[in-house]
Structure 1
Amino acid sequence: MQKPANLVRLIWLALLALSLAGCGGLGSISMGDLFSSGDTPEPGQPQTQAPDIAAIQNPGDPKVAFLLPLGIRGNASEVARALKEAGEMALVESGSPGITLVTKDTLGTPEGARAAAQAAINEGAELIVGPLFAGSVQAIGPIAQARGVPVMAFSTSSSAAGNGVFLISFLPEQDVANIVRFSVQSGQSRFAALIPETAYGSIVERSLRQELQGKGGQLVTVQRYQRTPQGAAQAATQIAASLKDAAIGADTLLIAEGGDMLRALGNALTAAGVNPQITKIVGTSLWDDPATASVDIAVGGWYPGVSPELTNAFNARFRQSYGRDPKRIASLAYDAVSLAIALGRQNAQSPRGQKFPIRSLTNSQGFQGSNGLFRFLGNGRNQRGLSILEVTKSGPRVAAPAPSTFGAGF
């Protein structure tokens, strides 16, 4: 796979900055995936042949296990394929990764994940990237912890985090933290919320209460609903009545939905007389969908997400490599493998088993990846500095850029 010279230069300089940051503290660590307008990939024919990662890996380099449900059927198999390809793309773009990536099939089951993790650790893996599903992550946690092998997993279930398991995924808690921070800073402090009766919805409600309490806001009314047309319509009618009640005084409505359900809620809210010029409408990253632009009540609303510039840069490079658009989650595998490469180089002189120490993974200044700024917390969860995007008829517009450092407010 051909690489533009300026891209190679960026990656090498970023990895050098990482080594220096370990000594002198240069702020967040870039993993070589932030592009200026002049650094985007050169046009050309897609390289649809799989990159030869064996040619750039040294058997003596520290092993990183890549646990994916490659043998599963359905949509999950396509997700697993995209994760695998994005991880391999990170290897190739690094030029000389300094790690050996060993892919293991979890078969999409906890039992398969346990077997894959055990085999990888027995073969000398010092870090695990994956698995994808929460049950699989929970299954391998005790095995990895017992052998002192940290894990960077893709699950969005925070219950799977901790004891050496770090979640690199987009977490609902971080959606809420980012949209509340910006909204309160913008003068919106009295929230109403439409939240589904799901595990995701429960996380959103709990996080919303915590974030508003910590930032001087208030959750004045909540409607939970079953994810059916009837449930959505009833909840929208009830919340609309609350928004018109001066005693409640809500100035912001959070809708924790996307896709067809967001459209159903939006239509019901409009029919019930909710005016987005009076009540600010905000959402979560579930709004990160082209269809959101056609939901009238969402137009002008805010939601947290990765800036289109970063998303487009990653997607263009993936298309150049594989001839098709990636699954959105693929960028997380790219960042996980890029971070493994960077930490492996930073700790190249450390003894075996100490190449990926917890103190490096939990660097408080964080890392800059293809999705922007993030850092791992000691409890295994992550924090992300996301952009705030505004919905327009022609697509998302950046209302507030993502923070470049973890400063005040986090």
Structure 2
Amino acid sequence: MGFGRQVHRLRTLAAASLLAGSLLGCQSKGSVSDALDPAAIQAGNQPTVVAAANASQATQSLGTGPTKVAMLLPLSAPGTAGESGRKMLDAAKLAMTDLGNPLLTVTVEDTRGDVGYSQQLAIKAITSGAKIVIGPTELPAAQHVAQLSGSNRPPVLALADNFAGGPGVYAVCLTEADSAAAGAGAIAAKGGKKFVLLVPAGSNAGIVEKRVANSLSVYGATLAVTIPYSAADNGAKAVADMGSLVEMPDAVVVASGDGSPSPILIALKAKGIPGKSTSVVGTNRWLDRPIDPLFEGAYIATLDPRETGPIADRFKTTFKYEPDVNVAYAYDTVALTAGIASALGPASFSRKVFENPSGFRGSTGLFRFRADGSSERSMPFYRIEKGALKLVAKSTSGF
């Protein structure tokens, strides 16, 4: 059986752990400079300042397998970052119980939510023989790691929100660019040809634009114009500019970033959009807040709760508290690592393996990693009706 089929069903690999006894540990024989450019090490070794109130958690080790894995989580960070880090640690423990204990030794380091310290820990993991690094969760730290050069660097599965990826540094979490691209592609697959993208001004605008344009090109559709907007004008100027630049688009894709899409939707509604000839495509970020009546009629591609449900239920039963989507991401990274170790052995972690075009199925559904580090997901496509997501199509792609 080929690698793609072996790893495709991550959650069925527990029986394969019986092979762990025959796997031999494999340590890196290269120098530090093989793993990382020495100049990059100096750039990353900057002093950090961390609030004294955040006492670091001690390094933890999970499993006894021959494959060395480093996992970087903000366990002692304040607020929601720390809560998410601790949930991801419990998700890793669940995945190790299911699949990884005889295959992996996971060293869990506390980044404390501090970007500089997280960068230091990432460099330490990359240069100390880990076959794969899971994390970091801090976006600037993940971006820094993606910029580092080195001929023998292990793959990195970054858990940072809104991370675009980099060569060998893979974006695990669903981004707004992913969701927007999948939603636009679903409309294009049904015959839409001309699209407009409204996106918050900033560094992320170009990433969203590129992903949407690439998705549309698969179906022979075009992104007629991208209009960045600022929160200051409530979207009115962007919508007015759209009307003067494009006549009757088939769909308007509305990215919202950290803000609410409602101001843009008010301006669109005043223009009769959505309407009989023009659809509105939203993103997963819309769902970070309660569904507004203004969302009615919009289309969104996002993760399937039926996929994450089984892991979420088992997590709640095991740890006695509610999980979130970060639990699914953390579970999948550990399960994927265990699946590769089981199928191919501890010396098999390479970009070629992670960029397998057949993809992988985990608790967040079917996904694959691209050479540029971005991820593609096969997601359900929904329409918002009466304040709820109504399924339109089970999948936005067939890879």
TM-score of Structure 1 vs Structure 2, range by shorter chain: 0.7 to 0.9
| Deviation, structure 1 residue 345 | 1.0
Match of 1:337 among 320, 334, 347: 334
Question: What amino acid does structure 2 have at the position aligned with 1:76?
Answer: A
Alignment of 1:180-329 (within 5 A): 180-228=184-232, 230-239=233-242, 241=243, 248-257=247-256, 261-289=260-288, 291-292=290-291, 294-296=292-294, 298-329=295-326
Over the matched positions of the two proteins, sequence identity in percent amounts to: 26
Residue in structure 2 matched with residue 31 of structure 1 by the alignment: 10
| Kept in 2: contact 1:305–1:388 (CA 8 A) | yes
Distance in 1 separating the partners of 2:388 and 2:257 = 15
1:71 matches 2:76: yes
| Deviation, structure 1 residue 224 | 2.4
| Kept in 1: contact 2:139–2:162 (CA 8 A) | yes
TM-score norm. by structure 1 comes to: 0.75
| Cα displacement string for residues 120-176 of structure 1 (whole angstroms, at most 9, x for unaligned residues) | 4566422110011232124445779465322111235656511x3222222344323
Structure 2: unaligned runs, 5 residues or longer:
13-59
SS in 2 for 1:204: helix
Question: What amino acid does structure 1 have at the position aligned with 2:361?
Answer: Q
TM-score norm. by structure 2 comes to: 0.77
Question: What amino acid does structure 2 have at the position aligned with 1:388?
Answer: F
SS in 2 for 1:125: coil
Structure 1: unaligned runs, 5 residues or longer:
1-19, 34-52
Residue in structure 1 matched with residue 344 of structure 2 by the alignment: 347
Distance in 2 separating the partners of 1:82 and 1:109 = 18
| Deviation, structure 1 residue 289 | 4.2
Residue in structure 1 matched with residue 390 of structure 2 by the alignment: 397
| Deviation, structure 1 residue 269 | 2.9
Alignment of 1:379-390 (within 5 A): 379-390=372-383
Residue in structure 1 matched with residue 86 of structure 2 by the alignment: 81
Residue in structure 1 matched with residue 39 of structure 2 by the alignment: none
Residue in structure 1 matched with residue 32 of structure 2 by the alignment: none
| Kept in 2: contact 1:194–1:255 (CA 8 A) | yes
| Cα displacement string for residues 189-246 of structure 1 (whole angstroms, at most 9, x for unaligned residues) | 2223322112233322233334334432233344321123x3323434554x45xx9x
Q: Structure 1 stretch 300-309 or stretch 204-213: which is displaced more?
A: 204-213
| Deviation, structure 1 residue 370 | 1.0
Change (3 A) 1:255 1:404: closer
Match of 1:57 among 51, 54, 63: 63
| Kept in 2: contact 1:283–1:301 (CA 8 A) | yes
Q: Structure 1 stretch 335-344 or stretch 72-81: which is displaced more?
A: 72-81
| Kept in 2: contact 1:390–1:396 (CA 8 A) | yes
